[in-house]
Every structure is written in C-alpha cells, then in structure tokens.
Amino acid sequence: MQAIVETLFDAVYLISVITIGVKMILGCKGESQFRLFGWMAVVLGAGDSFHLIPRAVALCTTGLENYTVPLGLGKWITSVTMTVFYVLLYYVWRQRYKVQGQNGLTAAVYALAAVRVALCMMPQNQWLSAEAPLSWGIWRNIPFALLGIVVIVLFYRSAKEKEDTAFRWMWLTIVLSFGFYIPVVLWADAIPMIGMLMIPKTCAYVWTVLIGYFAMKKECK
C-alpha cells in the first residue's frame, strides 16, 4: 500500500510542478519575474525527480535497501538543486519588488549557497552508503537553513510593506517546508515514521509554486 500511495503522490507532484513551471515560462508574456519563477519550479521538480523516481522504483520492486546507491546519488543531486532553487527565489524577490543594489545581501546569499554546495560535495557525507553520518547531515543543512531564513525574512517584509496580497503567504510556505524537513534530517533514521513529514513538506513546495502561478495568471492578462 505504501508503494502505491507514495508513488502516485510523487508522480502527481513531479508532473504538477514541472508542468506549472513550463506553463509559466511560456505564458509569462515577457514578465521576467514569472519566467524566473517558472525555471525555479522546473529546477525543483527536475531535481527532486533524481531522488523520487529511484525511490518509487525501489518501493515497487525489491525494497529501499537494494537501491542504496541510486537513492544516495539522488539525494546528493537534490541537495544541490534545492540550493539553486532558493537562489532563484531570491532573484524572484529582487525582480518582483524591483530591488536595486544591496550587493552585500546578494554576496551573503551566494556565500551561503556556495558553502552549502561545498559541504554537500564532501566525501564525508557518504551519500552512496547505507550508513551516512548524521553529523554531516546537520553540517550541510546549517547554511541551507540560514539561506532559507534570509529568503523568509525578505518575502515577509517586502510583501507586508508593499501590501502584496498575491505573495503574502510566500514566507509561510518556506517556513513550513523547513519545519517539516528539519525533523526528517535529525530523526528519520532512528524513527522511520518521521520520514512521512516529507509529504507535507512537498505540499508546502507545491503551495510555493502555485503562489507564483496564480500571481502570473492575475497579473499577465
């Protein structure tokens, strides 16, 4: 039952976010913020597919324990693409609110992203092993969480100041995604049921993408 339900959920998620992303790229009518948002959605779906597709195959065949390498490789790739996702989201913020300058802020975003990717590339992560160390899972997620906090604060402040009703909940979708993701990083190996939090985390990302899509439909008539 888990295999069927999880596979169907992941298939709907991947197809939905990638389709929405493509529709935004093609239907943005020259609005660069929505074209960028579309690419962001495609990066999200394409990156997650490297982990979710092998997981679906494993669940529907011989089990997760027999797919350690492809699952680990998929998590590795997804870790990098999610970092790119947040950098793109930062630029969506800049374009939507017509932010100029603030080179220090941009440098901080790039620095956090670079540290995150560098930590993900370290062999100590043991991505392809069944016994990946928890400590490195924590280390590589520290700059990722800081990057998320930066983006949360930026969208919260700007949407409130500009009375941007279309993006008023963008900050909350990111808070929820991290709120569901962090317990998985910390405790999923010890308590496998905690891994179920990845479902609401995924729903939070779908909400993020839908915010951009519905804003485009309203503003690009």
Assign residue 29 the CATH number of its domain: 1.20.1070
Beta strands in the chain (DSSP E): none
What is the percentage of the chain residues whose pLDDT exceeds 70? 100
Residue 99 pLDDT exceeds 80: yes
When pLDDT is averaged across residues 104-128 and rounded to a whole number, the result is 95
2: pLDDT strictly greater than 80: no
Q: What is the per-residue DSSP string for 74-119?
A: HHHHHHHHHHHHHHHHHHHHHHHTT----HHHHHHHHHHHHHHHHH
Q: What is the rounded distance in angstroms from the CA atom of residue 21 to the CA atom of residue 43?
A: 9
pLDDT average, residue stretch 90-94: 97
**pLDDT tier, 86 (very low <50, low <70, confident <90, very high otherwise):** very high
- Whether the per-residue pLDDT at 108 is higher than 90: the answer is yes
State residue 21's pLDDT score: 96
pLDDT digits (tens, 9 = 90+) for 130-147: 888 889 999 999 999 999
126: left (phi over 0), alpha (psi -120 to 50) or beta: left
pLDDT band at 105 (very low <50, low <70, confident <90, very high): very high
Q: Which of 46-55, 84-93, 188-197 has the highest mean pLDDT?
A: 84-93
Domain span at residue 40 reads 2-219
* Structure-token pair, residue 20: 């929405």
Give me 37's structure tokens.
């948002």
Q: What is the mean pLDDT of residues 49-59?
A: 90
How many domains would you assign to the chain? 1
Distance (Å, rounded) from C-alpha 131 to C-alpha 105? 37
Q: Note the Cα 130 to chain centre separation in Å.
A: 23
Across the range 167-178, mean pLDDT stands at 96
pLDDT band at 70 (very low <50, low <70, confident <90, very high): very high
Residue 172 Cα distances to 17, 87, 201, angstroms: 19, 17, 12
For the chain, the average pLDDT equals: 92
Distance, in Å, from the CA atom of 111 to the CA atom of 33, rounded to the nearest integer, reads 23
pLDDT (tens digit per residue) in 11-43: 999 999 999 999 999 988 888 999 999 999 999
